[in-house]
Amino acid sequence: MPAKAHPNRANGVNLIDTVKTAVFFHAHPDDEALLTAGTMAMLAAEGHRVVLVVATSGERGQADIEPGEELGATRLAELYKSAAALGCARVVNLGYGDSGLAPDGGIAEDRPGDAFIDADTEEAARRLAAILTEEKADLLTIYDPAGGYGHPDHVQVHRVGGRAAEIARTPIVLEATVNRDPLLRALRLAVRFYPQLDIRAFERAYSPGEVITHRVNVRRFARQKRASMAAHASQATGADTRTLGVLLKIPQPLYRLVFGTEWYVRRDAPLGSRLRHPFEIPPKG
Ligand SMILES: [Zn+2]
């Protein structure tokens, strides 16, 4: 069991009297960079224990390396580099097969036998719950029910993560998402400079602003978030329409606009809550 001693590296960011543990559950290496990296860096800087769990090694992602074991190993190495940049205390890979994506963005027919989407929800949830219990996790992040942009493994993160939190009785569950409204505004601007960017895929992705309960200002951690993204080099060098590759090319001011905030939905907080910190107590609904 990890000791919850107060670390010395809180460094005046925020004085905390209790070290809490936050577990960030993601489908593939690089998902943490896009969705939660700033929050992770912030909590770590405040002195909290930050644990990163991935369901798969992302061995079927789009990259210059052929899909398979070598790509999986490369992506796990990148995940460790990202985790180090963010101040994570522990990284766990549940080791399921990356379900991949069909060319139309749906479920791939040629997926591996141990694909995460074919895993028994209860069995996978129990494995994650064991980590939550061992860590005495105060908070778990999962994805929204749509799985963000809809990757089947991301939808499975919502199901498995939600059930794991029930089993382990984790008090706070946050659905990591993106506020679709400013994202679409920024992407419509970006498309002028990057005409190859297909923004239609984003029009029904993630969550509209009205359901979002948490807007976490992570502007101070833009450097760490950028380092986390840069760590996932295999994904950034794939086809030039890859999201991460495109995002890394966005000029700093626009990057700051889009990535100054991270968004979460807490289902047991009243609709319209405007919380600023993952551990903030929501108002009574
Ligand atoms: Zn993913």
Q: How far is the CA of 177 from the centre of ligand 1 (A)?
A: 12
Q: How far is the CA of 175 from the centre of ligand 1 (A)?
A: 14
Q: How far is the CA of 258 from the centre of ligand 1 (A)?
A: 19
Confidence of residue 257 (pLDDT cuts 50, 70, 90): low
What's the confidence (pLDDT) of residue 200?
A: 79
The Cα–Cα gap between 223 and 167 comes to 36
Which residues have beta carbons under 5 A from ligand 1 (an ion)? 27-28, 31
Q: How far is the CA of 57 from the centre of ligand 1 (A)?
A: 10
Q: How far is the CA of 148 from the centre of ligand 1 (A)?
A: 9
Q: How far is the CA of 30 from the centre of ligand 1 (A)?
A: 7
Tell which residue, 24, 97, 41, has the closest CA to residue 264.
24
Q: How far is the CA of 162 from the centre of ligand 1 (A)?
A: 17
Q: What is the pLDDT of residues 71-92, one digit of tens each?
A: 999 999 999 999 999 999 999 9
Mean pLDDT of 174-189: 86
Which regions of the chain does DSSP assign to beta strands (E)? 21-26, 49-56, 90-96, 139-143, 172-177, 214-217, 261-265
Q: How far is the CA of 31 from the centre of ligand 1 (A)?
A: 5
Q: How far is the CA of 150 from the centre of ligand 1 (A)?
A: 9
Q: How far is the CA of 285 from the centre of ligand 1 (A)?
A: 33
Q: How far is the CA of 235 from the centre of ligand 1 (A)?
A: 11
Q: What is the pLDDT of residues 8-53, one digit of tens each?
A: 444 545 557 789 999 999 999 999 998 999 999 999 999 999 999 9
pTM for the predicted model, two decimal places: 0.88
How far is residue 197 from each of residues 68, 194, 252, measured CA to CA in Å?
A: 27, 6, 18
Say if CB 160 and CB 128 are below 8 A apart. Answer: yes
Q: Which residues contact 110 (CB under 8 A, 6 or more apart)?
A: 100
pLDDT at 258 over 80: no
Q: How far is the CA of 10 from the centre of ligand 1 (A)?
A: 30
Q: How far is the CA of 158 from the centre of ligand 1 (A)?
A: 12
Q: How far is the CA of 21 from the centre of ligand 1 (A)?
A: 23
Q: How far is the CA of 284 from the centre of ligand 1 (A)?
A: 34
Q: How far is the CA of 239 from the centre of ligand 1 (A)?
A: 16
Q: How far is the CA of 25 from the centre of ligand 1 (A)?
A: 11
Q: How far is the CA of 253 from the centre of ligand 1 (A)?
A: 26
pLDDT at 93 over 90: yes
Q: How far is the CA of 277 from the centre of ligand 1 (A)?
A: 24
How far is residue 31 from each of residues 15, 24, 141, 207, 232, measured CA to CA in Å?
A: 29, 10, 12, 16, 10
Confidence of residue 1 (pLDDT cuts 50, 70, 90): very low
Confidence of residue 247 (pLDDT cuts 50, 70, 90): low
Give the rounded distance of the alpha carbon of 182 from its chain centre: 19
What's the confidence (pLDDT) of residue 259?
A: 73
DSSP 13: S
